[in-house]
Amino acid sequence: MIKVESVTKRFGATVAVDEVSFEIGEGEIVGFLGPNGAGKSTLLKMMCTWLPPSAGRIAVAGFDVAEQPLQVRRRLGYLPEHNALYEGMKVDRFLRFMGNIRGMGGKHLEERIAWAVDKCSLDAVLGKWIYQCSKGFRQRVGVAAALLHDPKVILLDEPTHGLDPLQVVAFRDFITGLREGRSILFSSHILAEVNSISERLLIINHGKLLADTTLESLAKTAKSKNQKLEDAVLDIVRAQGAA
């Protein structure tokens, strides 16, 4: 569903993503872990056709992001780190607008809005202006908009930012329930976040993919060294600096 092959992104002399390769299959929820500035958001922006790769190839649901961007966007749900919403619109009208620009309408759109409102618990704010909503509700509005068209590939960039602890737990359960028939990449700089929802982990730093491993394997490594999971991740990052 997602295939990244030797992808590089340069901004002048700065290499933000450096020859990264990985694949994510149907039914997988994969954690994408790295500190702020590691290259996570840049790679996600290339995957969603926002930025073109400087080198390499990305395919989403079998379509090349550079050559077939519209086909990619039809099959992709993307929640950016900085959730861009039209603050001068009410929540219900915003969701309807987002459905309309994706070519949805009539009964199908109303059914999808009802589904998203239920899954994202938006009933309390449907009639509110977006600028009146709390940070947590604004994040949930963004998630609802990203999932309206029932995408098969979902990219989430720091999706729990702004949610309270109860909302975080509910959101994890919600995303886990979307696993079947979809590929989900969950980006965060917090290990506990990706550990709670993923079975596989991609670790990136300074634009380089340092590890593509299962959480089970990483936990075994940590246990063999009498470490915490966080320490095993730090060892991987430190090894890059020592190389």
Task: Kindly list the structural domains of the chain, giving each domain's residue range(s) and its CATH number in brackets, ordered by start.
Answer: 1-75+152-166+173-243 (3.40.50.300), 84-150 (no CATH)
What would the mean pLDDT of 53-76 be, rounded to a whole number?
Answer: 96
Structure tokens at 37: 């500035």
What would the mean pLDDT of 110-139 be, rounded to a whole number?
Answer: 92
Is pLDDT at 243 greater than 60 in this prediction? Answer: no
Q: pLDDT value at position 151? A: 94
| Average pLDDT of the residues of the chain | 91
Structure tokens at 11: 């901004």
Kindly report, residue by residue over 80-105, the tens digit of the pLDDT.
Answer: 877 779 999 999 999 999 999 999 99
What would the mean pLDDT of 50-61 be, rounded to a whole number?
Answer: 96
Q: What is the DSSP string of 94-129?
A: HHHHHHHHTT--HHHHHHHHHHHHHHTT-GGGTTSB
Distance CA(49)–CA(69), nearest Å, equals 6
Is pLDDT at 191 greater than 60 in this prediction? Answer: yes
Structure tokens at 194: 């990706």
